[in-house]
Chain A
Amino acid sequence: MLSVIRGGRVVDPTASRDAVGDVWVQDGRVVEAPGREPDRVIDASGCVVMAGGVEVHSHIAGGNVITSRLLLPDLYVSEAAPEGHPFAHAGGAAAWIGSTYARMGYTTAVEPAMPPTHALATQLELADIPLLDRGALTVMGNDDHLLQLLRDGAGKAAVRDLVALNVATSRGLGVKCINAGGASAFKDGALKLSLDDEIPCYGLSTRKIMGALLDAVEEIGVPHPLHVHCNNLGLPGADDSFMATLDAAEGRRIHFAHAQFYAYGETDDGKGFRSAAERIARAIGDNPEATLDIGQVVFGQTVTVSLDILRQFAGRKGANPKKWVLNAGDAEGGGVVPFLYRPKGPTSSLQWAIGLEIMLLSPDPERTILTTDHPNGGPFTQYPRIIHLLMDKGEREREIAALPGIVGERSGLPGIAREYTLSEIAQLTRSGPAKLLGLTDRGHLRAGARADVAVYRDDPNRTAMFTAAKLVLKDGVPIVEDGEVVEWRAGRTLSLTVESDKAMEKRTDAYLTERFGAGLESFTVPDAAFDAPTFEAVPCQV
């Protein structure tokens, strides 16, 4: 069927397009105007037309997310189900995640922390998120097998083969390291770790582990650069850790997760922090191979979930309410600590300001991507409000006026006049994340793109505009109309096609059997475990 979305303001920065026009769709793809009458005309006059949103870092599946639901049964509110899906309004559930993203015009979302030992559970949960295409990043950097190889000087090829095998076995879309070596160090008594501190029992450092993973990702040709969660998250002076990590990348591609939590310069008295947004934004400008996502803080109750158990253990004392879970798992495990970003609290206000400041100072919105690190900085449902604040200086000023003076004293936010354009919003939420993930078929509206399209009513109240899209197409099929789901369909899980080395398979099988009493087969994610075709292959770069 040939469809045309007619007369909307089409915003596609990848084609320098921001004007009223048409978008043609056929067989699930965007096509050039074919010179014949369409079978269906979708009237988009008065609307803004963008590619479907792409999420790079949101904790939407996996053991920590499960634990957070068990620890805080009352975090979300469930409402009576609509027709079509019994769990769509079950707060925090997979169907709620899929439908809430879809209503906002997002069509792809990536879970950034999949431990290889629990890949099957994570993938089964992801597959239950309807409407969206999904993916997950395979976490490495604390597991004994990798650390043994590095300690024993096994060489680059062996590390590459082990990383490739883990990605292939877990069916990941990329590779992430989380405070590399930190979980291992914690289990051996450490409470703090910086880039060059020694990891007990291995004689390694974060620098060495991360460097090995950076190389492996490049050698394998993973389209998404190594996704890095640095040391010392959230501490005053974490900006130094960020900069040291950037230097350690030595020009290799690197993605920094939730950079807001590192943009904390130490105050002169050493007792607090001030915004280092300018330093971080400048570093991204100066390093074209580096990208970041924000991890914007929003006010209210949330729960922090992280595989960085070293930091989560330290952060347990700030738990609100006062209960928390720390699982010292097979590699990282995970920490789940409830947290309240106090509305109008000085610390949370400054954190809120710093995230916005990084985006507003960004020299390249395609490389400073909007996330809240859901749910760590706050829920992803706040994206429309954040977009509103980026696009509307007056709205920002009204919000700042209600916050404590520390926002002006320790951040530059009040002095920034910049207002994001719709094109820049599309870079921040569409083209940037799609390029970062190496997904060339989305994030834009050029011919050949997957017909994932969001149509919003052009409304100066950007919060309202981006909360409930007028129309969302997934693969050309309308899934949302007037902010409500109209077609419950399953997306696909994007997973990288990686060849694994037979010798490494054999070696790993022996290692796993010795350690777990179960070989490599027990760790796989076979198609037979899913009741419908689930995975779509994404090729490596050659």
Chain B
Amino acid sequence: MPAWVKGAATDIDAAIAAAADLLGAARVPIIAGLNAEVSAIQAAFALAGRVGASLDTDGAAGTYAELGALSRVGAMTSTPAEVVGRADAVLVVGANPWKSDLVGRLVGSRPTRGRAAGAERSLLALGAAQDRATVSVSAEGGCLPALALLRAHLRGHLSDDSPVADLTQRLASARYVAVLYDPAEIGEMGVETVQGLAVDLNDKTRGFALAVPGPGVNQDRAVVPVSAWTTGQAPRVGLGRRVPEHDPWRFDAARQIAAGEADAALWIASVPAPRPSWLGRVPSVALVGEADPDAAEVVIAVGVPGRDVGGVLWNEARGALAYRPPQPGASAPADLPTAASVLGRLANRLAARSETAC
């Protein structure tokens, strides 16, 4: 069972003991990454509750652009399958959504359900010229001013014969509009404006926004609901004062490390993810699906969910959590513990310490 302490191979019991010593000695531990199956995310929250750690995720930029806008103005949203099945006009904001599988499904297909069924589907690009788009409208000043201009036209505040006016007309005359965006690309104000656009569209037709992920896959969309039902709050969350405190700025792991606030870190990536540059700048433990003995002071290899072990993961195509069984013939699954089981053993070892915490 692969495990390392200070780069030297050891057995899992010794690695867990070393990890417990490391975390048990910390006054401000952080748990980060959480790029993992739901059972591991749950176990991470339980451990954080015991040791008073804060929790941060891997895909933070997009997650907080989305959550910030949601808590301030709300949202009007659809799902991938609904967009594929119903949309006769798809407005793609920015460059990143064009790289998604979803746009691949939308190009060259027609809606099959609802009042737009059978109609030709137009793909409208805002902010990035695209060969695959029916129409492209550039946005020299960035997506945000272009979106604002579009809203102004839609509301009748502006009227001219510009490409944006043409775009507005195409959206307003469609029967089901989907607005695709990557929150990490357009930022919190961009997300707010997209949501406002979707709301405005419903004065004339039906229109809904849908966030599509940019490059790189992460499990933030699994972390958010688990955090919400476990703590009543979205991530990032700190438990140092024995009460969940949601604060995306304060509990940013990179910021905490850079500011010298944290004195130990636990990095969890049973779903392989690039490790952060700050890992190792404080005493660190890494639970990882792709093990690098030098990644941290204590490294424990865990099963990759959906490959070595079963697990519940965010399914982007469905926009839902789904169980992924282990793949038959995967590499030595019997040897690899689940991240949740390692976290559970860590929590048990640290239980005595938390009971004496103030």
A interface residues, Cβ below 8 angstroms from B: 61, 63, 65-67, 69-73, 76, 78-81, 83, 86-87, 89-96, 117-118, 120-121, 124-125, 128, 144, 184, 186-189, 200-201, 313, 319, 323-330, 333, 336, 515-518, 522-526, 528-529, 531
Contacts and interface: CB of A to CB of B under 8 A. Distances in A.
26 contacts: A71-B70, A72-B71, A73-B233, A86-B46, A86-B239, A89-B243, A94-B230, A120-B320, A120-B321, A120-B323, A125-B225, A186-B206, A187-B114, A201-B115, A323-B74, A326-B74, A328-B78, A330-B82, A336-B74, A516-B81, A516-B317, A516-B318, A518-B315, A522-B318, A529-B310, A531-B39
A83 B357 CA distance: 11
A78 B232 CA distance: 8
Interface string B214-246: 000000000011001111111000010111101
A531 B338 CA distance: 11
B82 A329 contact: yes
A134 B56 CA distance: 30
A209 B286 CA distance: 53
B77 A327 contact: yes
Nearest to B198: A326
B114 A522 contact: no
B353 interface: no
Contacts of B38: 124, 529
A200 to B, nearest CB: 6
A390 B190 CA distance: 51
A87 B322 contact: no
A70 B315 contact: no
Contact of A187 (B74, B206, B244, B246): B206
B10 interface: no
B4 interface: no
B101 to A, nearest CB: 9
Given A73-B234, A91-B232, 7 more contacts: A69-B228, A80-B242, A118-B321, A120-B312, A189-B205, A326-B77, A531-B42
Contacts of B82: 187, 328-330
A419 B75 CA distance: 45
Contacts of A120: 312, 320-323
Nearest to A522: B322
Most buried by A among B78, B231, B310: B231
Contacts of B241: 80
B27 interface: no
A352 to B, nearest CB: 27
Contacts of B242: 80-81, 86
Nearest to A91: B232
Given A86-B49, A117-B320, A69 B74 contact: no
Given A69-B233, A523-B322, A526-B323, A128 B70 contact: no
A120 B319 CA distance: 12
Contacts of B95: none
Contact of A529 (B46, B175, B323): B323
A83 B50 CA distance: 10
A73 B228 CA distance: 9
B231 A70 contact: no
A523 B317 CA distance: 13
Contacts of A200: 114-115
A342 to B, nearest CB: 21
Contacts, number: 184
A128 B71 CA distance: 24
A325 B76 CA distance: 6
Contacts of A328: 76-79, 82, 206, 208
Give the size category of B's interface with A.
35 or more
Given A90-B231, A94-B229, A327-B77, A81 B114 contact: no
B71 A87 contact: no
A81 B243 contact: yes
A86 B320 CA distance: 27
Contacts of A69: 228-229, 232-234
A91 B105 CA distance: 41
B76 A326 contact: yes
Contacts of B85: 144, 515
Contact of A81 (B49, B233, B322): B49
Contacts of B81: 330, 515-516
A17 B77 CA distance: 53
Contacts of A63: 225
A81 B244 CA distance: 9
Contacts of B50: 86
B181 interface: no
A517 B317 contact: yes
Contacts of A79: 243
Contacts of B45: 87
Given A90-B244, A128-B229, A518-B315, A121 B74 contact: no
Contacts of A118: 320-321
Query: Across chains A and B, which 7 residue pairs bring their CB atoms closest together, nearest first?
Result: A86-B49, A93-B232, A92-B232, A323-B74, A69-B228, A121-B321, A188-B115
A489 to B, nearest CB: 15
Most buried by B among A63, A125, A187, A518: A187
B244 A121 contact: no
Contacts of A188: 114-115, 206
Contacts of A531: 39, 42, 340
Contacts of B105: 517
B72 interface: yes
B205 A78 contact: no
B67 interface: yes
Interface in B193-209: 202, 205-206, 208
B172 to A, nearest CB: 13
A71 B71 contact: yes
Contacts of B234: 69-70, 73
B151 interface: no
Contact of B232 (A90, A124, A189, A516): A90
B6 interface: no
Contacts of B320: 117-118, 120-121
Nearest to B338: A531
Contacts of B239: 86
A395 B74 CA distance: 39
Nearest to B39: A531
A144 B113 contact: yes
Nearest to B239: A86
Contact of A96 (B74, B76, B232): B232
A184 B208 CA distance: 14
Contacts of B42: 128, 531
Contacts of B225: 63, 66, 121, 125
Nearest to B241: A80
B121 interface: no
A325 B232 contact: no
A70 B76 contact: no
Contacts of A528: 310, 323, 325
Contacts of B246: 73
A184 B82 CA distance: 11
Contacts of B113: 144, 201
Most buried by A among B46, B208, B224, B340: B208
Contacts of A67: 70
Contacts of B76: 325-328
Nearest to B105: A517
Most buried by A among B74, B230, B318, B325: B74
